[in-house]
Structure 1
Amino acid sequence: MRWVTFDCFGTLVDWRHGIATAIDLILPGQGERLLGAYGRHELDVQTESPSLRYREVLAESLRRACAETGTALRPDDASVLAATLPYWPVFPEVRDELATLRAAGWRLALLTNCDRDLIAETRRRLETPFDAVVTAEDAGAYKPDDAHFRVFRESFEPERWVHVAQSYTHDMVPAHRLGIRRVWINRLAERPADPAVTQTELPDLRGLADTVAA
């Protein structure tokens, strides 16, 4: 069976826009300023507490970002990211490309650093059905740990498997380590620390069906 697995947030859903906009709801005008600080803390929180629910990872990362920048955060506002996550926007080309992959006979799966309930809300916005989902709850860890990939491999034994993701650290590195074919969706025009890790690169999902077929 042919599988394409995806990271969700950052790859299919505009994670940066979602976080910045959510922060603006509680701290008007601060979303873009706090976005960078948030990104610096999330990986640390996930590494320190791999069993923590993702909604708590979101809240704790926001608390640390505010503390780092000297921004006052009301205690009950720390939940804003989890509350708005189901409404974060899907990148404009994603729905068509997912439908094209499915029509070409690929099975689709999500390997996501998210809770089951939160990803269930996001899946309805992607519109194309997914055949499998592996969450951080299922894996018992957060990427870049190998657990998501091992759970998927053991559960579905894919004959052909391509992993598609935006994060070099969370997805490309472990997929490379495990010998999984991969496509880096380099939406931020980053320079990889090691080009061999990313294997194949696209600026977004347009043309992905042709790329994975090749």
Structure 2
Amino acid sequence: MDQVKVLLFDCFGTLIDWERGMYENIGPLLEQKTCPTVEEVITSLVNEQTPIQNADKTMPYPIVLQESYRQLIAKFRLHYDQDDAEALGDSVTSWPVFSDTGDCLARLRDLGLKLVILTNVDGDSFDQLQQTLEECSGIKFDAIYTADEIGSHKPDLRNFDYALNDLSESFNVSRGQVLCVAQNKLIDIEPANKIGIRCARINRPGVLTGHRGSIDYTKADFEFASLEEFTEEMERVHDGV
């Protein structure tokens, strides 16, 4: 990792605790007597999103989440409330960061690395999340690539091509100097492998989603149990230890 100059971060599941964010905003659903387990609900909410985004490449993320909620309701034959669906979609901008996110971003910036976001969230929705991330870390991201800017969603390879081309033009870096830092195998690790970017997977204990994908492409070059563990390794590499 000594050649790395740019860290290409996913947001949800890596920097933002989206499972907790969803859980804290589906209280009325979980109170229904026939509701399945929390694990089943969260997993379903996440897994429904990629097909929805593939079908409509311009759909804002809060609407994607609302549609995922509607499909979950139909799947488990639960009572649907439009207000609850909209409340879940609107909650996206207030989802919490992981406890190690702020400190680690600051330390990685101190190593002289470019910190970049490649997200499936639309720009309007990401504005508040960007503010949250930058306030908790004291850094400014060097570039942010959103789904609506690109016109497609990960795992589409066009998203990674778009980011790599812009990074090359803006910072004169090659793909060999870019490290994808993400949790989700299907959305990030697999396409990054296909396009030839090295990957560091942040595989936090207890996380429910992001573990599925093609067996041929979902092995990361490096794997860490937290962003803290990853940051410590980057610091060791930087110090030549």
Q: Output one character per residue of 1:42-71: Cα deviation in whole Å (capped at 9) or x when no partner.
A: 121112222222221111111001111111
Q: CA RMSD in A?
A: 2.2
Alpha-carbon distance change, 212 to 195 in structure 1, aligned in 2, over 3 angstroms: farther
Structure of larger gyration radius: 2
| Correspondence for 2:228 among 202, 206, 209 | 206
| Preserved CA contact (<8 Å) 1:186 1:204 | yes
Aligned length: 213
Q: What is the aligned partner in structure 2 of residue 153 from structure 1?
A: 164
Q: Deviations over 1:116-165 (max 9, x none)?
A: 11111011221232111101101111111112211111112124211100
User: Residues 137 and 64 (structure 1 numbering): CA distance in 2 closer, same or farther, change over 3 Å?
Assistant: same
| Structure 2: distance between partners of 1:57 and 1:212 | 35
Report percent identity of matched pairs.
32
* Contact 1:34–1:66 (Cα < 8 Å) also in 2: no
- Cα deviation, 1:170-197, whole Å, max 9, x if unaligned, reads 0000000011011011123958735873
Q: Which region of structure 1 is more displaced relative to structure 2, 81-90 or 110-119? A: 81-90
2:91 equivalent in structure 1: 84
**Partners of 1:163 and 1:136 in 2: CA distance:** 17
Q: Specify which of 66, 70, 79 is matched with residue 72 of structure 1.
A: 79
CA distance in 1, matches of 2:100, 2:44: 28
Task: Label 1:121 to 1:72 Cα distance change in 2 as closer, same or farther (>3 A).
Answer: same
Letter in 1 for 2:178: W
AA in 2 matched with 1:145? D
2:111 to 104, 107, 125: 104
Say if 2:129 is the partner of 1:122: yes
In 2: Cα distance, 1:169 partner to 1:211 partner: 24
| 1:79 Cα deviation after fit | 1.5
Residue 140, structure 1, aligned to residue 142, structure 2: no
8 A contact 1:37–1:68 mirrored in 2: no
The yes-or-no answer on 1:131 pairing with 2:142 is yes
Aligned to 1:185: 202
Matched, 1:13 2:20: no
C-alpha contact 2:16 2:96 (8 A) present in aligned 1: yes
Secondary structure of 1:79's match?
helix
Residue equivalent to 2:41: 34
**Whole-Å separation in 2 of the counterparts to 1:59 and 1:191:** 23
Moved more, 154-163 or 176-185: 154-163
Residue 62 (str. 1) matches residue 64 (str. 2): no
Partner SS for 1:182 = strand
**How far apart, in 1, do the equivalents of 2:21 and 2:71 lie?**
18
Deviates more, 1:81-90 or 1:3-12: 81-90
Equivalent position SS for 1:143: coil
Q: Using the alignment, how far apart are the partners of 1:147 and 1:60 within structure 2?
A: 24
Range moving further from structure 2, 13-22 or 30-39: 30-39
Match of 1:171 in 2: 188
Structure 1 unpaired stretches of 5+: none
Given that 1:144 and 1:171 are in contact with CA atoms closer than 8 Å, whether structure 2 keeps it comes out as yes
Gaps in structure 2 of 5+ consecutive residues: none
